[in-house]
């Protein structure tokens, strides 16, 4: 299997490694007992500035069921780098543990941690990117459809960290992605151009659309996320006004013209970005996504912390 030191973004992971991770995650999911001791004696540090359910639990459970141990470090009261420099945190942790998962506000904090640490660092979410979520999402679709090339996804809502990570993954995996967002809330131009440049070499298209009905036409999957991410609470009222027309309702799902799947990275706010009749319907695969966070986390841990290290 191909090697990599860190997992900070899907943009920096080759298509071949992503597909190998899918194969490994599928095998881990099918036969977990076969992998129960592969990380025996290994320790993982979990550095979290932000609240977490899926990321924290899946890496903790994943590490333990692979035979290792996870240590939670609560940075919610004092951000990484404030009490002690990121350099010194990295240099301490590399003497004690075999890997780090970091969930921070600033993307630079995770990049710096990976730069200074000789051990693998996994981006558990930053304000810029959520690559672990996108990895699980594309693995879920790979399971559902049997392939990813040519698949059509419509992402409806805020051009946030999840959206950017989905763009990076779509570009690498040959997925056509339409980002449907109001003006001023789309992904930054540099992120769009980066994804489009990679997509062109893999037969994919990354498109920006304002009209939700137009944007979802012929989509195999409709994906949305919260309108108000962590740290944006002061913008809540304004964001609800701006995004009201982007709520995923049954009518919008019908506008795809086919029996499309619905995805959401969770946590979800029923009645805001998605109607309960959509997220709780048979077309919704949100809990399959959530389950696969565990299997893809295990695959990442095996790849990065495996016995060769």
Catalytic, 133? Answer yes
CA distance 28 to 113: 28
The question of whether 54 is a catalytic residue gets the answer no
Q: Is 240 a catalytic residue?
A: no
Q: Is 132 a catalytic residue?
A: no
Going by their DSSP bridges, the two strands 121-125 and 152-156 should be labelled as unpaired
Q: Which of 265, 275, 289, 295 is catalytic?
A: 265
What tokens does 264 get? 């959401």
**What is the rounded distance in angstroms from the CA atom of residue 203 to the CA atom of residue 176?**
9
Question: Active site residue: 130, 164, 176, 295, which one?
Answer: 130
Q: Helices 107-116 and 86-96 sit at what angle, rounded to 10 degrees?
A: 50
- Alpha-carbon span 153 to 166, nearest angstrom: 10
CA 154 from centroid of its chain's CA atoms: 16
Q: Is 163 a catalytic residue?
A: no
Structural element, H or E, at residue 151 = none
Of 132, 158, 225, 264, which one is the catalytic site residue?
A: 225
Q: Which residues pair with 122 in a beta bridge?
A: 7, 101
- Active-site residue 293, yes or no? yes
Total count of residues recorded for the chain: 309
Tokens 């999840």 sit on residue? 162
Q: Catalytic pick from 56, 103, 176, 264?
A: 103
Point out which residues pair with 101 in neighbouring strands. Answer: 46, 122
Q: Tell me the sheet residues that pair with 46.
A: 72, 101
Catalytic residue among 133, 164, 168, 264: 133
3-state secondary structure of 245: helix
- Check 176, 239, 293, 295 and give the catalytic one: 293
**Alpha-carbon distances, residue 74 vs 60, 94, 167, 244, 301 (angstroms):** 14, 18, 30, 35, 21
Active site (catalytic) residues? 103, 130, 133, 225, 265, 293
């Amino acid at each position: 299997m191909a090697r990599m030191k860190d997992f900070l973004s899907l943009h920096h992971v080759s298509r071949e490694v992503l597909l190998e991770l899918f194969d490994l995650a599928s095998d881990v999911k099918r036969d977990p007992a076969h992998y129960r001791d592969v990380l025996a004696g290994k320790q993982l540090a979990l550095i979290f500035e932000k609240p977490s359910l899926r990321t924290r639990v899946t890496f903790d459970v994943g590490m333990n069921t692979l035979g290792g141990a996870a240590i939670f470090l609560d940075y919610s009261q004092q951000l990484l780098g404030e009490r002690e420099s990121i350099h010194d945190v990295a240099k301490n942790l590399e003497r004690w543990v075999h890997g780090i998962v970091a969930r921070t506000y600033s993307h630079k904090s995770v990049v710096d941690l990976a730069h200074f640490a000789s051990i693998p660092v996994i981006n558990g979410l930053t304000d810029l990117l959520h690559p672990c979520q996108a990895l699980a999402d594309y693995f879920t679709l790979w399971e559902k459809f049997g392939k990813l090339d040519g698949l059509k996804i419509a992402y409806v809502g805020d051009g946030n960290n999840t959206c950017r990570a989905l763009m990076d993954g779509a570009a690498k995996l040959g997925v056509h992605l339409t980002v449907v967002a109001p003006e001023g809330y789309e992904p930054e131009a540099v992120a769009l151009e980066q994804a489009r440049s990679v997509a062109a070499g893999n037969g994919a298209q990354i498109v920006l659309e304002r009209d939700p009905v137009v944007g979802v036409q012929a989509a195999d999957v409709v994906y949305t996320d919260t309108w108000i991410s962590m740290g944006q609470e002061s913008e809540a009222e304004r964001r609800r006004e701006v995004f009201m027309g982007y709520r995923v309702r049954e009518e919008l799902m019908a506008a795809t013209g086919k029996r499309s799947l619905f995805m959401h990275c969770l946590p979800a706010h029923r009645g805001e970005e998605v109607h309960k009749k959509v997220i709780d319907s048979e077309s919704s695969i949100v809990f399959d996504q959530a389950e696969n966070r565990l299997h893809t986390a295990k695959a990442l841990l095996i790849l990065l912390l495996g016995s060769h290290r």
